[in-house]
């Protein structure tokens, strides 16, 4: 008699997508990320991600293995970080972002600036998935901005100018205090990593033009003098974080945020009150090499 194999039930499609802001951000209801998910539901989540740039799931009870398994439905899950160590040897894909560890390592001395994840490598992550594990009763919200809409809202002469420019990104950190390196800086800068990216990239799936600079990792513009580049970048940074393009997410235990790293920037919260604890765990998905409107691809320095 042939043995019977028990197959876990696959969830039917019953998603509800509820936008939270005008230009990006939507909460998705009707899916348990800890269970097997049908292909059509994965496709619905991807479509919502491409439309809203960052999607959120509430009340998810995820193990670390389930967190990684969910990510693999959308692409290759990368190691936790190019330089920072993984906190969990059994799950080297997971980066722990813990306010208590941050205090010990001196991460609190690093300025929080808008950034797109890991742009100092030639193929930054396609997306990031963050799981809220320990959430304080207030504070600790994360903000995102839509870099496709930000590009669209620039004047035509500015769009024409930046379509042909390229910028160097490197893994430097903006330090908010005096001399000496913190433990966090030492780990983050264990390797000197730099890449050249188009200032505007073509999104490989939506074909949108997207601003692809950020004040955390972008150093300078290749084709301009340093003075010219500083002024242009300062204007772009001010423009891309206009409140109209942004959304803010209030975390709760079990919340999950999944953002398209190719078309957004985000801001790490700094308003966690003394004595409160916030711990979130992040995985990243392997990304394509960015290509600009001029057809030039990113490359490592």
Question: CATH number of the domain that 145 lies in?
Answer: 3.60.130.10
Specify whether 282 is catalytic: yes
The reported pLDDT for the residue numbered 203 is 98
The reported pLDDT for the residue numbered 104 is 61
State the total domains in the chain: 1
- 72-86, 177-191, 272-286: range with lowest mean pLDDT: 177-191
| Alpha-carbon gap, residue 255 to 55, rounded angstroms | 11
Q: What is the pTM of this model?
A: 0.92
Residue 10 lies in a domain: no
Task: Supply the DSSP string of 212-259, one letter for each residue.
Answer: ---TTTEEEETTS-HHHHHHHHHHHHHHHT-GGGEEEE---TT-EEEE
116: containing domain:
16-300
pLDDT digit string (tens) for 88-116? Answer: 999 999 999 988 876 665 566 677 889 99
Specify whether 67 is catalytic: no
| Alpha-carbon gap, residue 270 to 51, rounded angstroms | 28
Residue 11 lies in a domain: no
Specify whether 266 is catalytic: yes
pLDDT digit string (tens) for 222-268? Answer: 999 999 999 999 999 999 999 999 999 999 999 999 999 999 999 98
The reported pLDDT for the residue numbered 179 is 57
pLDDT digit string (tens) for 49-58? Answer: 999 999 999 9
Task: From the candidates 67, 91, 203, 282, give the one annotated as an active-site residue.
Answer: 282
| Alpha-carbon gap, residue 125 to 287, rounded angstroms | 4
- 31-45, 157-171, 263-277: range with lowest mean pLDDT: 263-277
Task: From the candidates 67, 117, 197, 278, give the one annotated as an active-site residue.
Answer: 117
| Alpha-carbon gap, residue 200 to 96, rounded angstroms | 31
Residue 7 lies in a domain: no
Give the residue, 194 or 187, on which the prediction is more confident.
Answer: 194
Task: From the candidates 46, 115, 201, 262, give the one annotated as an active-site residue.
Answer: 115
């Amino acid at each position: 008699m042939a043995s019977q194999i028990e197959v876990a039930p696959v969830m039917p499609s019953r998603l509800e997508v509820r936008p939270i802001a005008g230009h990006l951000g939507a909460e998705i209801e009707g899916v348990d990320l800890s269970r097997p998910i049908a292909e059509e539901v994965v496709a619905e989540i991807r479509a919502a991600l491409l439309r809203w740039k960052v999607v959120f799931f509430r009340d998810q009870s995820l193990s670390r293995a389930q967190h990684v398994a969910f990510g693999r439905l959308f692409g290759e899950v990368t190691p936790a970080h190019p330089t920072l160590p993984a906190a969990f040897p059994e799950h080297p894909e997971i980066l722990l972002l813990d306010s208590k560890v941050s205090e010990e390592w001196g991460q609190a001395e690093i300025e929080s600036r808008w950034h797109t994840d890991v742009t100092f490598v030639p193929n930054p992550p396609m997306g990031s998935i963050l799981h809220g594990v320990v959430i304080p009763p207030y504070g600790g919200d994360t903000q995102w901005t839509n870099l496709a809409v930000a590009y669209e809202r620039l004047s035509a002469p500015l769009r024409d100018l930046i379509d042909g420019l390229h910028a160097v990104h490197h893994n430097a950190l903006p330090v908010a205090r005096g001399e000496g390196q913190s433990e966090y800086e030492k780990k983050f800068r264990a390797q000197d990593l730099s890449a050249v990216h188009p200032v505007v990239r073509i999104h490989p799936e939506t074909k949108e033009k997207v601003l692809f600079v950020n004040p955390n990792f972008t150093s300078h513009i290749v084709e301009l003098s340093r003075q010219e580049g500083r002024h242009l970048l300062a204007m772009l940074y001010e423009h891309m974080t206009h409140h109209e393009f942004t959304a803010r997410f209030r975390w709760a235990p079990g919340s999950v945020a999944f953002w398209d790293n190719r078309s957004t920037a985000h801001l790490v919260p700094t308003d966690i009150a003394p004595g409160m604890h916030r711990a979130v765990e992040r995985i990243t998905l392997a990304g394509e090499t960015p290509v600009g409107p001029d057809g030039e691809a990113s490359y490592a320095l």
